[in-house]
Amino acid sequence: MIRYLGSTKNLAGCVGGLIGLALYLTGVVGGLWPLVVAGLYAVFALLAPPERVRLVPVDVVAEAGQLRADLGSLVDKVTAQAQRMPGSSVDGVRRVAGILDDLLSRPERLSASPDVQHEVTRLARTDLPLSVQTYLNLPWWFAAKRRAGGEPSASDELLAQLELMETEAHRIAERFYAGDVHQQADHTRYLRERGENA
Segment 16-54, tens digit of pLDDT:
888 988 888 888 888 888 888 899 899 888 888 877 666
User: Which of 167, 143, 137, 17 has its CA nearest to residue 9?
Assistant: 17
Higher pLDDT, 103 or 87: 103
pLDDT of residue 67: 94
User: Looking at this protein, which amino acid is placed at residue 20?
Assistant: G
User: Looking at this protein, which amino acid is placed at residue 176?
Assistant: F
Segment 137-185, tens digit of pLDDT:
988 888 777 766 778 888 999 999 999 999 999 999 999 998 888 888 8
Q: How far apart are CA 51 and CA 100, in angstroms?
A: 34
pLDDT at 132 over 80: yes
pLDDT of residue 105: 94
User: Looking at this protein, which amino acid is placed at residue 154?
Assistant: A
User: Looking at this protein, which amino acid is placed at residue 130?
Assistant: L
Structural contact between residues 70 and 124, judged by C-beta atoms closer than 8 angstroms: yes
Domain residue ranges of the chain, discontinuous segments joined by +: 8-47, 60-179
